[in-house]
């Protein structure tokens, strides 16, 4: 199943460094808040606020099959903001021990992917959505991506 999405948007901050960022390029807090709002409008239960990682932001959300995590980050392109893209990938929320055992990659539900896809694809702020298999994305095989999950 395709669980990694890349997309373009000029609406979210990808250049102004905030003092609360863990790292100077830890963009995506505004994107995470926007996506939380979009999911809630679609009656998807989410965390109230996103959390920060060293590379971006994340939040948990729930579908009928259980709790999932959406992780967001920005990847500048060769021409910086001109061809950079946002990345969203989905994991299962498994807790500390489950995370240590690698269980976050297993059991991602189709309905979790569909919820994120609907929130992104129905928004005028988002363009050029591409869905990737995690292994293909990690191996930089971007040409194997699809417009839908």
Q: pLDDT tens-digit profile of 30-85?
A: 999 999 999 999 999 999 999 998 889 999 999 998 899 999 999 988 775 567 89
State phi, psi for 136 to the nearest 5 degrees: -65, -45
Q: What is the model's pTM?
A: 0.88
Compute the distance between CA of residue 61 and CA of residue 93 in angstroms, rounded to an integer.
Answer: 9
User: Which structural domains are found in the chain, ordered by start?
Assistant: 4-144 (3.30.310)
pLDDT at 76: 86
Residues whose CB falls within 8 Å of the CB of residue 90, separated by 6 or more in sequence, listed in order: 3, 4, 68, 69, 70, 71, 108, 112, 113, 116
């Amino acid at each position: 199943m395709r669980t990694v999405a890349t997309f373009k948007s000029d609406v979210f901050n990808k250049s102004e460094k905030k003092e609360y960022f863990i790292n100077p390029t830890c963009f995506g807090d505004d994107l995470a808040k926007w996506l939380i709002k979009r999911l809630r409008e679609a009656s998807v239960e989410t965390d109230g606020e996103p959390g920060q990682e060293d590379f971006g932001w994340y939040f948990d959300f729930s579908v009928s099959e259980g709790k999932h995590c959406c992780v967001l980050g920005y990847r500048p392109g060769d021409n910086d903001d001109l061809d950079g893209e946002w990345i969203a990938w989905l994991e299962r929320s498994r807790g500390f021990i489950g995370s240590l055992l690698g269980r976050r990659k297993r059991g991602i539900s189709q309905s979790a992917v569909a919820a994120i896809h609907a929130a992104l694809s129905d928004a005028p702020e988002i363009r050029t959505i591409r869905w990737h298999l995690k292994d293909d994305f990690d191996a930089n095989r971007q040409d194997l991506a699809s417009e839908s999950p």
